[in-house]
Amino acid sequence: MRVVDAAWEEWLSCNVARGCTPDSMIDAMVRAGFIADDARVAVHHAFGLRTSEAAPATAAPHPYRYDDAPVASGNLIRAYDRDVRVLLRCERPQLIVFADVLSPEECRELIGRSRHRLKRSTTVNPVTGSEDVIHNRTSAGVWYRRCEDAFIERLDQRIASLMNWPLENGEGLQVLHYGTSGEYRPHFDYFAPDQPGSAMHFAQGGQRVATLVIYLNDVAGGGETIFPDAGISVAAREGGAVYFRYMNGQRQLDPLTLHGGAPVLAGDKWVLTKWMRERAYGC
């Protein structure tokens, strides 16, 4: 039976500060092996609610407006120098699963370049804005400046073309590595709009609007990218990717994009991530 240890206390307070809903947090804890009643008590405690006062289970009407995503329609998208296949499109949240975004050689090249440069990943502290090492995210990563050499530039161009968003609005690419049991618990990629720590992140490029997670290897067990409130789980396949968009033209943010990297159960997992901003981002 799982218990709320210091790492889970940290996860609870972090996700309350990020604006996660109690239901999504209870769901994530149950998926991680907690008994539902224990999860409910812990989450309500974190929100300062008595369990008997908790909100009813019925969800409020969803205010987010799903306007047109910028990604091209069709089953095959010409992305700069490569044809990318579309495997699945979801409307709510706006999510697309792709195959063949990167070739096997490109995946291997990125892993080879990154393996000896990895540093333990950090997470944005919503209160201070600082990058903290926390137990919610057990991966290590390395950043590549936008277009820092010809190889990275080709990938940046392809990704910008696929996401149909200006290259200048992209953060640098990040390669992440998870060992066995590594995970990234459910979170939002956008910065919590009303948290003081977000101001320093908005100063350059504004809010994040969409993410592309590209898988660099086949994961032997686990390691899916999960969207617990949408009931979606995307398996990691070498060269494949998942795109999701969380800010619409009215600058609303979509809470259905709560997502995480499920624990790696066997082998390891390598991904490449791109976050796009609403305006130009000086890399």
Binding site for ligand PD2 (CB under 6 A): 176, 184, 189, 213, 225, 259-261, 271, 273
Residue nearest to ligand PD2 (CB): 261
* By CB under 5 A, residue 171 contacts Zn ion: no
Q: How far is the CB of 96 from ligand PD2 (least distance, A)?
A: 15
Task: Kindly identify the residues of this chain, within the stretch 175-214, that bind Zn ion according to CB under 5 A.
Answer: 189
The burial class, CB within 10 Å (0-12 / 13-18 / 19+), for 62 is: exposed
Residue nearest to Zn ion (CB): 189
Number of residues in contact with Zn ion under rule CB under 5 A: 1
* CB closer to ligand PD2, 40 vs 274: 274
**Non-local CB neighbours of 226 within 8 Å, separated by 6+ positions:** 31, 186, 232, 233, 234, 259, 260, 261, 262
Contact partner at residue 12 from ligand PD2, Zn ion, none, CB < 5 to 8 Å by partner kind? none
Q: How far is the CB of 269 from Zn ion (least distance, A)?
A: 14
The DSSP secondary-structure symbol of 207 reads: S
Q: Count the residues in the chain.
A: 283
* CB closer to ligand PD2, 26 vs 214: 214
* CB closer to ligand PD2, 49 vs 125: 125
- Cα dihedral 259, 260, 266, 272 sign: positive
**Non-local CB neighbours of 241 within 8 Å, separated by 6+ positions:** 97, 98, 101, 212, 213, 214, 215
